[in-house]
Chains A and B, each alone.
Chain A
Amino acid sequence: DAKTTQPPSMDCAEGRAANLPCNHSTISGNEYVYWYRQIHSQGPQYIIHGLKNNETNEMASLIITEDRKSSTLILPHATLRDTAVYYCIVRSSGAQKLVFGQGTRLTINP
């Protein structure tokens, strides 16, 4: 699976959109981009995933660049409860392993 690069930390004001970038320049054609988050010491929680097209669900939006070398997770109206570590993972459709990187620690400030 391709390697991902994320900033170690970010801050965002409550009520604003939080945009979390992820670089995956070596991604291959059958690899999907997944986002998980981990709030405090809880188990990670799935947020969203996509292949080529932009995706949106009740939690977030995922924007993937046309060349698929990077993506952005958008939390449209961040709340204090969105403070967490966000992990971007690239994984092929047939992959057995699920490997996490270091993630981005997002802090939502009041």
Chain B
Amino acid sequence: NAGVTQTPKFRVLKTGQSMTLLCAQDMNHEYMYWYRQDPGMGLRLIHYSVGEGTTAKGEVPDGYNVSRLKKQNFLLGLESAAPSQTSVYFCASSLLMMNTEAFFGQGTRLTVV
């Protein structure tokens, strides 16, 4: 099993450009999450989803949109990228069942210039 796969791994954007980050999991997990991590800081939750067709805001949702059209995929969109969105983005997934661990992807390093 691949687990949680993030695409792309690296990207440089110009201010104002748009892009979509893809998170795919092959573990049939219901819950999926998007985080950002800035240098020297912990992970901050952007958006999350508790099932196909559902999304919810996390701690820092402004400037981002998400979609969960298929259970295995969770997309994070930046409509108009800003330098403040330069960060490493992590996706995670977990089962709906109680007390289960979350699995993380390897991250997407995004630079907005």
Contact = CB atoms under 8 A, between A and B. Distances in A.
A32 B99 contact: yes
Interface stretch (A60-68, A75-83, A99-107): A99-107
Contacts, number: 57
Interface in A81-96: 85, 87, 93-94, 96
Interface of A: 32, 34, 36, 41-46, 49, 51, 85, 87, 93-94, 96-103
Given A43-B4, A97-B58, 20 more contacts: A34-B101, A41-B88, A41-B107, A42-B107, A43-B104, A43-B105, A44-B90, A44-B92, A46-B101, A46-B102, A51-B99, A94-B98, A96-B56, A97-B45, A98-B45, A99-B59, A100-B44, A101-B42, A102-B42, A103-B42
